[in-house]
Structure 1
């Protein structure tokens, strides 16, 4: 997880949100292979492994953080080393809610996010809907182009 572009307070991780996100992905996505936390005692990140990825990628993973302040990061990486992120956090390079585009999700490539909801389940459904649409049509340019997802 790349938190280097954060400015200001992200806040402590909110475990009930990570549990809700995990449950949503398990309910919505048949390609979920496994879910885990980075630390059993004091988790700071939910990891969702997928049995397939975008394009030619054979597998993928989402690394997810959600804070008590409602800040979040959904970071996708796959076996072809394609990265992208939907983030909400204070920063100096873009609006608070923003998207880092593929293939490398660089900080300088951040743009406003098409996600304008802030509730945990709705943000999760929006990220999933855009991932699933991109998975089915193969067009990475559509990841941040849906009007008011979910």
Structure 2
């Protein structure tokens, strides 16, 4: 996600949240291949690599940011260049908590998110639940369809 998608303060990255998100994905998802930070000294993003993706994608990656203000971005991209993301940040195009649907996750396509929770572990579990449902049913329409997951 580009910073110009945001209006208002996102806040500094909160490393303990990224560590918690990493640990949860490692515990919850057998398809996690590897995890890494974009910078070992001053991380701004957690990257989770998956050994499979939605539909016929051979692999996928989640790029995740979480700020000290509780703002976040869970951005999925796969080997077929399908993108989607769950975000929470101030902006001018949608509610603060929103979803950018596949295939492009375009800023102009943002819609209200089905995720109402705001605590890091609950948001992480909700994103995982939505991804896993879409993966198992091979249906991206399930990504933003639950009633207040997890």
Give the TM-score band, short-chain normalised. over 0.9
2:99 is matched with: 99
State the shift of 1:142 in Å.
1.1
Superposed displacement of residue 22, structure 1 = 0.1
| Distance in 1 of aligned mates of 2:59 and 2:28 | 17
**Partner of residue 75, structure 1:** 75
Whole-Å Cα distance in 2 between the matches of residues 101 and 2 of structure 1? 16
**Offset at 1:2?**
2.6
Give distance in 2, aligned partners of 1:19 and 1:108: 31
SS of structure 2 residue aligned to 1:30: coil
What SS is found at the alignment partner of 1:25?
helix
Distance 1:49 1:3 in 2: 23
Please give the per-residue CA displacement for 1:17-43, whole angstroms capped at 9, x wherever unaligned.
Answer: 000000000000000000000000000
> Which residue number in structure 2 is paired with residue 144 of structure 1?
144
Which residue in the other structure is 1:129 paired with? 129
Q: TM-score, normalised by structure 1?
A: 0.99
Structure 1: gaps spanning 5 or more residues: none
- Kindly report the root-mean-square deviation, in angstroms, between the aligned alpha carbons of the 2 structures: 0.5
Shift of 1:4: 2.1
Say which SS state the counterpart of residue 8 (structure 1) adopts. coil
* Structure 2 unpaired stretches of 5+: none
Partner of 2:42 in structure 1?
42
Tell me the number of residue pairs that the alignment of Structure 1 and Structure 2 aligns: 150
Q: Distance in 2 between matches of 1:48 and 1:105?
A: 18
1:60: which partner in 2?
60
Tell me what 1:11 maps to.
11
Whether 1:86 and 2:116 are equivalent positions in the alignment is no
Taking the aligned partners of 1:141 and 1:33, their CA distance within structure 2 comes to 25
Rounded to whole Å, the distance in 1 between the matches of 2:10 and 2:59 is 29
SS at match of 2:4: coil
Distance across 1 between alignment mates of 2:2 and 2:31 = 25
C-alpha distance in 2 between matches for 1:3 and 1:18:
19
